[in-house]
Amino acid sequence: MTTKRWDFRDEDLRRYSVEIEHAVLTGDRRITVNGREVFHGGKFFDTGGEHAFDLEGHSARLRIGSTGFAYNYTLVVDGLTIPPEGATIPRPARNAPAAVVPATEPDRVTAEQPVVAALARGPDPAALAHAELLKRVENGGRWFYWIAGLSAVNFVFFVVGSNNGFALGTLIDWLLQGAVEELAGPSFGWIAHVLVIGLFAFLGVRATAGTQWAFIVGGVLYALDGVLFLFVGGWIGIAVHAFALFAIVGATISLRRLHGTPATTLQRA
């Protein structure tokens, strides 16, 4: 659980305390203002996001970003970024009737020019590159689902007495099974399989969500699992592991490039 807090005041000396509690493994977030809860929720697949809320007349936004290894939190109130050491913000603006002036024809033409130019250029290259990298990351993360799923199938085959199995599955759970049976007895060997299957499924969730450490941890574990095939002479397993690792490493590289690639080349005025 990560906790971040900002203490600041406005020109009328009213004090504010904004706090976020972020369960980084489950994605659950809880935001409070002066002890009053203004948001509670989140999704397991989230790695970042932005939450808007009212701060006694001020417009506030709390942004959560991810570098792949760690999260960063930014509080923006009325367009001003609040530093960790606190600040004094202007008093909230009073509501006043705004005069609506219709845009003249030249103004409309000027405003439409960037849109027309963008349509004339066709699809935005930066947006296409961003979407392609995102697709590679998601596809690479799904390999951990396949590893977990086929490892579970292999264990079921073993339980029913079959000698068949999928080479994409893991061997490390069988090694751990021997250790668990030595420590706790043969009836507890299944725990090793559940732990390994659950671990790779969890890594799949985090990897498809764009978490870099999940790719690194999962890739290292699966590479070590491939080394076990060297000792048992499972050349098909070695080849399949190498193919999966190639996709996982490629997705990791795409994720690093994704963090440095703008979502679009269109600029706001």
88-136, pLDDT tens digit by residue?
Answer: 777 766 654 545 555 555 555 555 555 555 555 556 676 677 778 888 8
Distance CA 147, CA 237 (A): 12
Only one residue has tokens 């392609």, namely 132
Region 145-157 average pLDDT: 93
Alpha helices in the chain (DSSP H): 105-121, 125-159, 172-184, 190-208, 212-232, 235-259
pLDDT value of residue 45: 54
Distance CA 236, CA 249 (A): 20
pLDDT surpasses 70 at 267: no
Q: Can you give the C-alpha Rg of the chain in angstroms? A: 26
pLDDT surpasses 80 at 61: yes
200: confidence class by pLDDT, cuts 50, 70, 90: very high
Region 11-24 average pLDDT: 82
Region 250-260 average pLDDT: 84
Distance CA 241, CA 220 (A): 12
- pLDDT, tens digit (0-9, with 9 covering 90-100), for 64-90: 877 655 678 888 888 888 887 777 777
pLDDT value of residue 59: 85
Contact 223, 242 (CB under 8 A): no
Instruction: Give the whole-number percent of the chain exceeding pLDDT 90.
Output: 22
Task: Assign 9 to helix, strand or coil.
Answer: strand
Exposure pattern of 99-135 as b/e (b: 16+ CB <10 Å)? eeeeeeeeeeeeeeeeeeeeeeeeebeeeebbeebbe
Q: Which residues make Cβ contacts (< 8 Å) with residue 221, sequence separation at least 6?
A: 172, 199, 200
pLDDT value of residue 114: 58
Summary mean pLDDT of the chain: 80
Contact 155, 171 (CB under 8 A): no
pLDDT surpasses 90 at 12: no
Compute φ and ψ for 38, nearest 5 degrees.
Answer: -115, -15
Q: How many residues appear in the chain?
A: 269
